[in-house]
């Protein structure tokens, strides 16, 4: 928030935004968002953001024609997004197509949400997170929980079957654990482990259906330790980043 006050959010979430780019990971994100929405009877919005640039040298007549083409393209994208969404979840959704830079539009349209869900193709490397460029920047900037998923073959309804809750240097705070427990209880799942990352073996994380990470506020540089990011780099399952109080 602009005044420095931490953003508050309702938990379990009552408003969920799933941001998509039409990739396989995006279909997975919609499916998982539908599962979370169903568990808490939440409102679900599916968002696709795309920037329609106008070349600076265009004449007024060219700009007018481009505007017509933009409206047609938006209508086509809306139709395709509706079809894409129905193929991923049966939960009722609102379709939103936004004109703008994806990062900006995702954060803007999630400003009133309690949970943001997105897919990532993932990237690896000594200086990169596993999240991928857009997902990484969203997680860094968002003040609400963010659920990130790669393409995963596990059934979406098993999302809460075995949840591991981890902290960075210490065990996750009580509020974070309570939030995860609220979701797990609503879905009939279980928390398999809850501790600092150092106390959770690689096999524990690998066997989880969801890894929930407490992300402390108030850091000059958002993020977790290199140990955590390295561990998540080998995690094929969804990760839920929850800002601590």
Question: Which of 150, 158, 141, 135 is CA-nearest to residue 215?
Answer: 141
What percent of the chain clears pLDDT 90, i.e. is strictly above it? 36
Predicted pLDDT at 141: 83
What's the CA gap between 232 and 57, in Å, rounded? 46
- Note if the bond before 171 is cis, omega within 30 degrees: no
Q: Which of 82-91, 181-190, 219-228 has the lowest mean pLDDT?
A: 219-228
The answer to whether 168 and 216 have CB atoms below 8 angstroms apart is yes
Residue where the block lists tokens 């879905």: 187
Evaluate if residue 63 carries a pLDDT over 50. yes
**What domains are there in the chain, each with its CATH number?**
11-151 (3.40.50.620), 154-245 (3.40.50)
Q: Of 11-20, 49-58, 193-202, which gets the smallest average pLDDT? A: 49-58
Helix spans in the chain (H): 24-40, 60-86, 102-109, 133-141, 174-187, 202-206, 226-233
pLDDT in tens, 170-192: 788 888 889 899 888 888 889 99
Q: What is the pLDDT of residues 115-132, one digit of tens each?
A: 999 998 755 543 444 455
* pLDDT surpasses 90 at 50: no
The predicted structure's pLDDT at residue 81: 95
Q: How far apart are the first and last CA of the chain?
A: 14
Q: Of the ranges 21-30, 52-61, 190-199, which is most confident?
A: 21-30
CB atoms closer than 10 angstroms to residue 80: 14
pLDDT of residue 220: 42
pTM for the model stands at 0.85
State the sign of the Cα–Cα–Cα–Cα dihedral 28, 184, 109, 237: negative
Crossing angle of helices 60-86 and 24-40, in 10° steps, is 60
**Cross-sheet strand order for the sheet of 43-50:** 94-99, 43-50, 15-19, 115-119, 146-149, 239-243, 210-215, 163-167, 191-196
Q: Is the pLDDT of residue 224 over 60?
A: no
As a whole number, mean pLDDT of residues 37-53 equals 89
> How sure is the predictor about 3, in pLDDT bands with cuts at 50, 70 and 90?
low
Better pLDDT: 220 or 100? 100
- Predicted local distance difference test score (pLDDT) of residue 204: 80
Stretch 100-106: mean pLDDT, rounded?
91
Range 150-158 average pLDDT: 87
* Chain mean pLDDT for the chain: 81
- Expressed in percent and rounded to 5, the helix, strand and coil fractions of the chain are 40, 20, 40
Q: Is the pLDDT of residue 100 over 60?
A: yes
Nearest of 212, 219, 221 to residue 241 by alpha carbon: 212
């Amino acid at each position: 928030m602009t005044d420095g006050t931490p953003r508050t959010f309702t938990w379990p979430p009552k408003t969920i935004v799933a941001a998509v780019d039409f990739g396989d990971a995006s279909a997975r994100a919609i499916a998982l968002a539908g599962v979370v929405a169903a568990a808490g009877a939440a409102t679900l919005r599916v968002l696709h953001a795309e920037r329609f640039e106008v070349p600076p040298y265009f004449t007024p007549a060219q700009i007018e024609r481009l505007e017509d083409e933009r409206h047609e393209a938006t209508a086509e994208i809306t139709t395709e997004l509706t079809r894409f969404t129905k193929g991923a979840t049966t939960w009722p959704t609102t379709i939103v197509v936004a004109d703008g830079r994806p990062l900006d539009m995702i954060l803007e349209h999630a400003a009133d949400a309690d949970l943001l869900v997105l897919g990532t193709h993932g990237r690896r490397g000594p200086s990169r997170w596993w999240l991928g460029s857009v997902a990484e920047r969203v997680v860094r900037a968002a003040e609400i929980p963010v659920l990130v998923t790669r393409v995963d073959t596990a059934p979406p309804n098993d999302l809460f079957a075995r949840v591991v809750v981890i902290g960075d240097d210490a065990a996750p705070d009580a509020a974070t654990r309570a939030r995860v427990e609220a979701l797990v209880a609503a879905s009939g799942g279980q928390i398999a482990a809850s501790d600092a990352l150092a106390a959770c073996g690689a096999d524990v994380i690998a066997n989880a259906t969801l890894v929930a990470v407490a992300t402390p506020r108030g850091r000059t540089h958002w993020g977790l330790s290199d140990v955590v990011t390295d561990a998540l780099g080998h995690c094929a399952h969804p990760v839920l980043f929850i800002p601590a109080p």
